[in-house]
A and B are shown apart, each in its own frame.
Chain A
Amino acid sequence: MFSYNIEFSNAKILYYIGTAGWSYKDWVPSFYPKQQSAKFDWLQFYSHYFNCVEVNSTYYAYLSPKIVEGWVKKVSDCDDFIFHVKLHQDFTHKRKIDEQSIKAFRYNLDILANAERLGGLLIQFPYSFPFNNSATQYIQQLKDTFSNYKCFVEVRHSSWHNQNSFEFFKENDLTFCTIDQPQIGQAIPFEPIITNDRAYIRFHGRNVNAWKKSINSFGKEQSYEERSERYKYLYSPGELIEIEQKIKSIQTKVKEVHVIMNNHPQGDAVANAFELIHLLEEKDKVEMPGTILKAYPRLEELLVN
């Protein structure tokens, strides 16, 4: 049939949609099945349904290369699967770089890069990292250190939201990460900013109350449940449609869009990621395991619609 579609025609764009991490015990049984054989592997199962994952464990520890090699093996069945690796906190939060750390981190990155499994490097700075000369110099230094990888930089301080900062990102071919988070205080509303031919979008959920609570208990020792409560949020169909339309409005400006769902508690991130695959990639049918359909009956729509 003749198509009247004007705006979105000829847009060839690669979507990488996944979650922040795959190893969550509370994804059983909403994503990983309850009955698991001895051979059952979570990453292998995950990679069957998604084409990317963000690795957050690399932020806390310099992993053994054996672990990273293990990942590569586990996703060997899935041709297009990639890992986005989060840079260690020594670089972003403590801002102490020594040759040893660089070497250790690069070693693991190269394992993935050589196997063509590396998506990019996520460099996430804390709120206490405002836009100024020394900050841009520091980012430039990191960019030079990791020059052969795609760099996605997440800055959270609102001072970064200005034209000079965006120009800095553009000049250095850095991707400015877009984040969606609860709208509290001076939080920046979800609006993709494009600084090169890639977009990297992270969704933290919109759980306002738990987010406020977590600010008050900052620095206290907390259980996994307490820590992750602020990410407990299932985006509603209307919110997802809003997100879809915003992302599609930038798709003529970029070649790749990476979407990472970090609202991980109990599998909400997985359910929303399936919904976004349906909306963004315009797939008539999304392949999903029975477990998620049982936990989130509204996903059944994605099978028929």
Chain B
Amino acid sequence: MRTIFHLDLDAFFVSVERILDPSLKGKPVIVGGDPKYGRGVVAACSYEARVYGLHSAMPIRTAYKLCPHGIYIHGSHGEYSRFSKAVKNILQQYAPVVQQASIDEFYMDFTGCRNVYGSLFTFASFLQKEIWERLSLPSSIGIGSNKTIAKIGSDCMKPNGITYILPGMEKEFLAPMPVEAIPGVGKVTLKDFHSKGIYRIGDITKLPQDYFAAAYGKYGIDLYRKAYGEGSEYLIVDNYEQKSISHERTFADVTSKQFLKEKLFKLTGKVCQELRDMDWLASNVHIKLRYSDFNTLTRSRMIKPTDDDKTVFEAAWDMLMKAHTRRVAVRLIGIGVSKFSKFPEQQELFEWEEVKRRRMLRAVTKIRDKFGYEALMFGIVEHDKRSMTMVNPFRVKT
């Protein structure tokens, strides 16, 4: 039996913004762009903002309607990754194994550490205090026998919560929870569940596993196991440095190629913007395609190191078209880049045309950093059915 901790930094982006500007304390703060300029989504919001019904991933315009007096900020991404690294450094002083799952989430394996640290609950509260005192960041911790249960645990008592799910009590603990508490159940799946009368996790365990396998494929079996409180027990321990940047989108089954093209183009834009924010170049592009029957495939390809939307999109679209062979509706597409290198200072290494594009993209990044991602958008022109080119000037929103 393993002992896994999941530590989640509460409203992480907002907490960091409050360190940068203490006057934001106690106020409804929304990170994710300026509602005046963009149609972006809420990346994080403070608990004071959640009172108004705001939550992450909500369109910023909707958020603004619900909470017009909120403070909307675009975010200081470099600073977030510095604080995230600092948290990891602290955790590594105590935990034998730490896996960073995202910028604000960490798994730790404390199996067999009871003799060193005594009561795990008391120790969790010590860890929480340590991160608060050293970095002024609030966090919640879930303790369980595997990663999934620990994560659900840390989610259920936010902020500043500690939840210890005793081994053997997983199923009972989960049963009354809404199905969306299971990691990986998004808006689209939730709607589907509701249409089938599945509202609580306990509703899943009442059904036979075969039903889930038939309805949702491999993904369904995985969900079914999670509903029973099962999950992965082992941490991925390679030195986490961000290995890839990716974005994906789930649809209510789509058949239009044009629609997919537009969505992939948008996702590419986001991925490349993040690349430029980090000052990185990527030399690998991968795509993910999930059909409505949950069959999922991935493809990847090496490219010349780049941070340019055009290059990445062309590779991704080509891969997607080659991969999309079945006449079945598409449920999800995703794009990611990996194998990063640092943006080189010596621009002589590039052709003049490339240098010009690079400068233009840097300018785009700057404008977006100031006014939000949607302030400036690339357009696409259709030459024929198989190829697309991006054009300048962009559509500038004011």
Contact = CB atoms under 8 A, between A and B. Distances in A.
Interface of A: 2, 4-7, 184-185, 236-239, 241-242, 245, 297-298, 300-301, 305
Contact of B345 (A7, A184, A237): A184
A185 B89 contact: no
A43 B241 CA distance: 45
Contacts of B251: none
A279 B93 CA distance: 18
B211 interface: no
Task: Pick the 10 closest A-B CB pairs, nearest first.
Answer: A238-B82, A238-B79, A241-B86, A237-B19, A7-B93, A245-B89, A238-B83, A242-B82, A4-B126, A236-B79
B348 interface: no
18 contacts: A4-B94, A4-B123, A4-B126, A5-B93, A6-B93, A237-B19, A238-B79, A238-B80, A238-B82, A242-B82, A242-B85, A245-B89, A297-B22, A297-B23, A298-B21, A298-B22, A301-B19, A301-B22
B52 interface: no
B24 to A, nearest CB: 11
A245 B86 CA distance: 7
B79 A305 contact: no
Given A4-B126, A301-B136, A237 B85 contact: no
Interface string B252-292: 00000000000000000000000000000000000000000
A184 B279 CA distance: 13
Contact of B79 (A5, A237, A301): A237
B197 interface: no
Contact of A236 (B20, B89, B123): B20
Contact of B20 (A7, A237, A300): A237
Interface string B94-126: 100000000000000000000001100001001
Interface in B1-37: 16, 19-23
Contacts of A6: 93-94
B393 interface: no
Contacts of A238: 16, 78-80, 82-83, 86
Contacts of A236: 20, 76, 79, 82
Given A238-B78, A298-B21, A300-B22, A185 B345 contact: yes
B135 interface: yes
B85 A305 contact: no
Given A241-B82, A241-B83, A298-B20, A305 B123 contact: no
Contact of A241 (B80, B93, B123, B135): B135
A4 B117 contact: yes
A239 B85 CA distance: 11
Contacts of B123: 4
A241 to B, nearest CB: 5
Contacts of B130: 4
Contacts of B94: 4, 6
Nearest to B345: A185
A298 B85 CA distance: 22
Nearest to A304: B22
A233 to B, nearest CB: 14
A270 to B, nearest CB: 19
Contacts of A298: 19-22
A210 to B, nearest CB: 16
B124 to A, nearest CB: 11
Given A4-B94, A236-B76, 17 more contacts: A4-B117, A6-B93, A236-B82, A238-B16, A241-B83, A242-B82, A242-B86, A245-B86, A245-B89, A297-B21, A297-B22, A298-B20, A300-B22, A301-B19, A301-B22, A301-B136, A305-B136
Nearest to B342: A183
Contacts of A185: 345
Nearest to A246: B89
Contacts of A184: 345
A2 B80 CA distance: 31
B95 to A, nearest CB: 11
Nearest to A249: B89
Contacts of B78: 238
A237 B137 CA distance: 12
A2 B125 CA distance: 12
Nearest to A241: B86
A262 to B, nearest CB: 21
A297 B23 CA distance: 9
Contacts of B117: 4
Interface string B31-56: 00000000000000000000000000
A238 B345 CA distance: 24
A236 B16 CA distance: 11
Contacts of A305: 136
A88 B398 CA distance: 56
Contacts of A4: 94, 117, 123, 126, 130
Contacts of A301: 19, 22, 136
A186 to B, nearest CB: 10
Interface in B56-88: 76, 78-80, 82-83, 85-86
Contacts of A241: 82-83, 86, 135
Contacts of A237: 19-20, 79
A154 B76 CA distance: 33
Contacts of B86: 238, 241-242, 245
A301 B15 CA distance: 14
Nearest to B116: A4
B393 to A, nearest CB: 26
Nearest to B84: A238
A7 B94 CA distance: 9
Contacts of A7: 93
Interface in B339-397: 345
A238 to B, nearest CB: 3
Interface centre among A6, A237, A238, A300 (most CB of B within 10 A): A238
Nearest to A186: B345
A39 B94 CA distance: 53
A4 B94 CA distance: 8
A202 to B, nearest CB: 21
A245 B131 CA distance: 13
Nearest to A6: B93
Nearest to A299: B22
Interface string B304-316: 0000000000000
